Structure 1
Amino acid sequence: MDPFSAEGELLTLHNAFHQGLYSTVISFPISSLSASNQTTARILQLRARILSGEAVAILNEFELASADVEGSVELQAVKAFAQYITGDTEEAVAKVEELIKESKDNETVQVLGGMVLVREGRLEEAVEVLKGHQGCLEALSLMVYIRLSQNRTDLAIKEVTAAKKWAQDSMLVNLAESWVGLRQGAEKYQQSYYVYEELAQAPISSSAQTLTGQAIAELHLGRLEEAEVALKMALEKDPNFPEALVAMVVHNVLAGKETEDVMSTLQTAAPSHIFLQDLKAKSDLFDQAASKYSPKVAA
């Protein structure tokens, strides 16, 4: 049975995870699921805890249950991902490479391994891992993300178009199509906005993540006031949500407002965020270029 179909008992759990409703995922009673789905549900719960800031706690738990971890490819992948998040990148990458070599058909290895490779900037290697998936929507969405990161909108469109033929009306595919729409522009901005608005405004799916998605679509549409409202709502739900903070920085620049306070919060909440890294790299390049010129004072 397709876990993402209307009848799939993992549908609610998957949707909550991809909407950023991690507390809902963590508290989900997995004992109520069929035995065949309990492992998948546990992996999602562990990942939700990692993304909620509990990576160190999970690694400590794994130390006490090392035999169980070593006996499970999925748990080994989760451990490597947690290690990477905590900064133990060298060991994590080595373990990911080992898991990919030995268990490249395992969906958890594909997705978490792909995520680590993406964070390492090894995009084409990640694509090679992910393209072996057998109907895994999360692998598909990560492929779309990579193609957009490479400015290959054409390939991202191809991935989404192919997925829509077999994935029914999956929320994850709709979101991936919205990412592509925000890159394509024009009338696609409005289409993407509708997807995010539906999620962000429904009590069951409203989260810092979905509200930020709505705000980003609003920014593309030039609706600065509406975007600000959505971002403030997102930050009320999670004051340290990095993507909302980044979007608020962008909003404030466009609106001619100060950015110092938001930037300070972002630097504290996510000091290694790609936005900050990219900003520093560009600033360093500017300083390097400026250093070649000396000011001339007219007599």
Structure 2
Amino acid sequence: MPHEDREPDELFEIRTNFYTGNYQQTINEATKLKVPQNLQTEKDLFMYRSYIAQKKYGVVLDDIRPSTSQEELVAVRLLAEFMASESKRDNILHDLDSKMGGNVKNSFCLLVTAYMYYLSENYETTLKVLHNADSLECCALTIQALLKMDRLDLAKKELKRMTDIDEDSVLTQLATAWINIAIGSEKLQEAYYIFQELSDKHTVTPLLLNGQAVCYMAQGKYEDAQTALQEALDRDSNDPQTLINLIANELDRLVRNYQPSVSS
């Protein structure tokens, strides 16, 4: 879609860094960037979500007062609480159930609510929450939930909606890669190129390296996957997705290469 008539996106770098998993740079940019008042909250939300992605939940909980009335800040603080304490998660979700009777209209609040259900592997409720949401992030989370439910057909339709909204968005490109991985076969190489192009255009991150590794694993290229995952580990030794994929890659390699020994 043509974008010549759009005003400059003052949060483009922050947004892109967050979506590609460059969380520290998101925080650095958000800390120093001066924006108009109408963009201040959105900028802060990317910063707080980056702290959450780094597991620095205390920073968010200390910075946002429990008494805050701004609904987006209430939502991101609740996400920090949800991530910080597994013992509180059921109660938080129970409270959300009582509040979700069609009353929540804010797109960001819907996103955060749906994300907590997604993390709880409650994909049907994730989709229910996102049903009337139309932001790109909500569309992307919808696709992730549909892929978890093996509904590739519906995920493709949601991707078409994202493409119609903004085909050049980093989120749309990432969603295209996820769907290509789900399709498999020759689409795996296309997915790999998307992750590579994003790395070349922006910066290499564990998130993008894990995407490439998953493509390699699906093609049986375990050594290449190991190399990508090791680089991801070098960049962030505590990234849970990297650790999960390292184990999965080794198990898959052992299973595929296993040959029963023949007794002589």
- What's the counterpart of residue 236 of structure 1? 234
Distance (whole Å) between structure 2 residues aligned to residue 109 and residue 123 of structure 1: 17
- Decide which of 248, 251, 266 is 2:249's aligned counterpart: 251
For normalisation by structure 1, the TM-score amounts to 0.77
Structure 2: runs of 5 or more not aligned: 256-264
Deviation at 1:34, TM superposition (A): 1.9
Deviation at 1:237, TM superposition (A): 0.1
Structure 1: runs of 5 or more not aligned: 258-299
Q: Which residue identity does 1:183 align to in structure 2?
A: A
Distance (whole Å) between structure 1 residues aligned to residue 119 and residue 253 of structure 2: 31
Contact 2:27 2:50 in 1 (8 A): yes
1:10-21 map, 5 Å: 10-21=11-22
Q: Which residue identity does 1:33 align to in structure 2?
A: V
- What's the counterpart of residue 58 of structure 2? 56
- Percent identity between matched residues is 24
Contact 1:77 1:96 in 2 (8 A): no
Q: Count how many residue pairs are aligned between Structure 1 and Structure 2.
A: 248
Q: Report the CA distance shift for 1:186/1:220 in structure 2 as closer, same or farther (over 3 A).
A: same
1:15-164 map, 5 Å: 15-29=16-30, 31-62=33-64, 65-67=65-67, 69=68, 71-87=69-85, 88-97=88-97, 100-101=100-101, 103-134=103-134, 136-164=135-163
Kindly indicate whether structure 1 or structure 2 has the higher relative contact order, using CA contacts under 8 Å at least 6 residues apart.
Answer: 2
For normalisation by structure 2, the TM-score amounts to 0.86
Deviation at 1:25, TM superposition (A): 1.1
Deviation string, structure 1 residues 103-134 (Cα, Å, up to 9, x no partner):
52212211110011122333222212212113
Q: Report the CA distance shift for 1:41/1:54 in structure 2 as closer, same or farther (over 3 A).
A: same
Contact 2:210 2:228 in 1 (8 A): yes
Distance (whole Å) between structure 2 residues aligned to residue 116 and residue 220 of structure 1: 28
Q: Report the CA distance shift for 1:180/1:141 in structure 2 as closer, same or farther (over 3 A).
A: same
- Asked if 1:187 is matched to 2:186, the reply is yes
Distance (whole Å) between structure 2 residues aligned to residue 216 and residue 163 of structure 1: 23
Q: Report the CA distance shift for 1:198/1:93 in structure 2 as closer, same or farther (over 3 A).
A: same
Tell me which structure has the larger Cα radius of gyration: 1
Deviation string, structure 1 residues 213-266 (Cα, Å, up to 9, x no partner):
111111122222221111111000011211111111122123339xxxxxxxxx
Distance (whole Å) between structure 2 residues aligned to residue 199 and residue 101 of structure 1: 39
Moved more, 217-226 or 227-236: 217-226
